Amino acid sequence: MQQDNKIKESLVIVSITLGVLLILSFIKFEYLFENINFTVRNIDLLSDIKTEPAEEQPVNEIKVIPSEQKINLASFGFMEIPSGILNILQPKESGLDYSLPYQGTKTPITGNTKQLSYFFDALKNSKTKTVRIAHYGDSMIEGDLISSDIREALQNKFGGNGVGWLGIVSQDITFRLTTKHSYSTGNWETASVYTSNPKSLPIGISGEASVPKGNAWVKYETTTVKRYLKDFSVAKLYYSNAKASQIKYSFDGGASQTAQLVPGSGLQELIMKPSGKAKSIKIDFPTADQAVFYGVSLENNPGLYVDNLPLRGNSGVDLQQIKPEMMKDFAKFMDYKLIILEFGLNVLGARMDYSWYEREMLKVIQNIKTAFPKTSILMISVHDKATKKGSGFATDPAIVKLLDTQKGIANKAGVAFWSMFDAMGGENSMPGWVNSNPPLAFKDYIHFNDQGAKKIAQLFSDALMDEFNKQK
C-alpha cells in the first residue's frame, strides 16, 4: 500500500517553529528556578547578524562606589539583590587576585589600631626573620579556608614559603586542599576544646592534643593549589609529657630516620630537615603513650606564616582551656606577632543576651595578652547570616546584636577590630553572595564557598595592608 508523502506537513511544522522562535527573539525574559538553581532565558536567533551596540565600559574598570554613596537596595524591598548590580571589580591596588566578581565594600580596621604595631614592625624584617600569624576561628576557616588566601597574599608581599601549622588528627582532611593530610585510624587518643577531654590531657596551642596507642602514624604531603605551598625545607614537631622513646620519620618516601624524644612535662620542639626541599613527610609513633603530640609546622625559613587553627562549632570562649603556661611555652617557639580571633556564628541565640560571651571573651583575650605580651590581636566580626522572611531572605536580627557586642569586646579589650559584616555589604547582604555569578556562598545562607572565602580574605588583606601603609 502506498504511503502518503508527509514532506509538506514537516515543512509546515518547521516553518511554524522557526516563526515562533523568531518572535521570541524580540521578547526579553528570564526566569530562575531556585530549587534547582537553573535559569531560563530567551534565545536570539538573529544575534549573529544584528549590529552590535556601542561597547560599554568593561566591568573590571568600574570604580568602587564609596560606601557613603551606596544605596541600600534592601530598604526598597529587595530582599535578594541582583548579582549584576554587585559584580563590580576593585582596581588592582595591592597585588591581590581580583578575578572574582566584587561583593561587599571596602571596610577599614577600627578599634585600637595602634596595637597592631607589634605585627607591622615585625613585617619590616620578614625577609630575614620568621613572622607568624595565628588565625583562630570556627568552621568558617576549616579546610584552610580564608587563612590560605590571607597567607598567599601576605607571603607574596613579605616572603615565606610553607603552610605552617598542621594538627596530628584533624576533622577537615577530607576537604582541605592546601595540604594532603592522612593518619592511622583507630590508634590515636584525642582531646580538644571542641569535643571532650576525659583524661585531662594538656591542650596545645591549636586547642587539640593527640596520644598514640602504638604503631600510629601521620603523613603530610604538599599540593600545588597555592603558589607558596609546593615544598618545605624543615618540619617541626611539637610535643610534651614525653617518655624516653623514639619516633621515626622519612621524607618523600625515602629512608627512615630515628629521633629521640626529650622526656619530661615541658613543651618540646623536634626539628626534622630533609637534605634539600621535600614534598612529603611521614612520622611513625611506635610506642603507646610515649608523649602528647600537638602538631607539625612545615616551613621554608624565613618569611611569613599563617597558622590555620579551626575550632568547629565553637564560640571561641573555650580557648580558655589552653592553660596560660602552655601558651607561654608555645610563645617560646612560635612568637606570634598577630593573633586573629574569628568567631561568632556559634554564639547566636534566640534570647540575644550576649553578656556571658562578652565576659568570657574578655578573659580569652587577657590570657593571650599575658602569654604573648608583644603580640597584636585583631577580632574579625561575625558575618551576615540570612533567614527566610516571606518569599525572600533577610539578616537574622541576632547578628546585628552580636555585632554590637563584638565591637564592645574589642573596645574594652583594647584590640583592633574588622567588621566582616560591613565588608560583605552590611544588612541583607548574604543573598547577594549566594546569588552571585559565580556564587560566593552556599544556599544555606550561612557559609561561604571557596570563592567566597577568597573574597573575604581579599577584603581583609586589603584592610590590613591599608592600615600597615598608614602606620609606616
Which of the four pLDDT bands, split at 50, 70 and 90, describes residue 98? Answer: very low
Check residue 104 and give its pLDDT: 75
Query: Does residue 311 surpass a pLDDT of 70?
Result: yes
Query: Does residue 172 surpass a pLDDT of 50?
Result: yes
Check residue 35 and give its pLDDT: 40
Check residue 4 and give its pLDDT: 55
- Mean pLDDT across the stretch 32-56? 43
Nearest by Cα to 295 from 313, 279, 310: 310
Q: Cell numbers of 89, please?
A: 571589580
The fraction of the chain above a pLDDT of 70, given in percent, is 79
- Specify the higher pLDDT residue, 241 or 57: 241
- Mean pLDDT across the stretch 35-48? 45
- Mean pLDDT across the stretch 98-107? 66
Check residue 171 and give its pLDDT: 84
Check residue 23 and give its pLDDT: 67
Cα distance between residue 445 and residue 432, in whole Å = 10
Check residue 31 and give its pLDDT: 42
Whether the upstream peptide bond of residue 302 has omega within 30° of 0, thus cis, is: yes
Which of the four pLDDT bands, split at 50, 70 and 90, describes residue 13? Answer: confident
Give residue-wise pLDDT tens across range 113-170.
Answer: 999 999 999 999 999 999 999 999 999 999 999 999 999 999 999 999 999 999 999 8
Tell me the CATH architecture of domain 162-301.
Sandwich (2.60)
Query: Does residue 56 surpass a pLDDT of 80?
Result: no
Check residue 20 and give its pLDDT: 66
Query: Does residue 95 surpass a pLDDT of 80?
Result: no
Looking at the chain, which residues constitute the CATH 3.40.50.1110 domain(s)?
Answer: 56-160+303-472
- Spatial neighbors of 33 by CB under 8 A, at least 6 apart, are 39, 40
Query: Does residue 7 surpass a pLDDT of 80?
Result: no
- Mean pLDDT across the stretch 264-275? 96
Check residue 175 and give its pLDDT: 86
Q: Among 74-88, 238-252, 286-300, where is mean pLDDT lowest? A: 74-88
Cα distance between residue 218 and residue 65, in whole Å = 49
pTM exceeds cut of 0.85: no
Assign residue 102 a region (left: φ > 0; alpha: ψ between -120 and 50; beta: otherwise): beta
Looking only at the bridges linking them, the beta strands covering 376-380 and 336-342 are parallel
**What is the length of the chain?**
472
- Specify the higher pLDDT residue, 202 or 2: 202
Angle formed by the axes of helices 355-371 and 324-333, nearest 10°: 50
Check residue 349 and give its pLDDT: 78
CB 134 within 8 A of CB 316: no
Query: Does residue 112 surpass a pLDDT of 60?
Result: yes
Give residue-wise pLDDT tens across range 229-265.
Answer: 999 999 999 999 999 999 999 999 999 999 999 999 9
Looking at the chain, which residues constitute the CATH 2.60.120.1360 domain(s)?
Answer: 162-301
Looking only at the bridges linking them, the beta strands covering 416-418 and 110-111 are antiparallel
What CATH number is given for 56-160+303-472 in this structure? 3.40.50.1110
Nearest by Cα to 151 from 413, 389, 286, 340: 340
CB atoms within 10 A of CB 201: 18
Check residue 87 and give its pLDDT: 33
Query: Does residue 405 surpass a pLDDT of 60?
Result: yes
Report in angstroms the alpha-carbon separations of 83 from 55, 72, 87: 21, 14, 6
Check residue 40 and give its pLDDT: 47
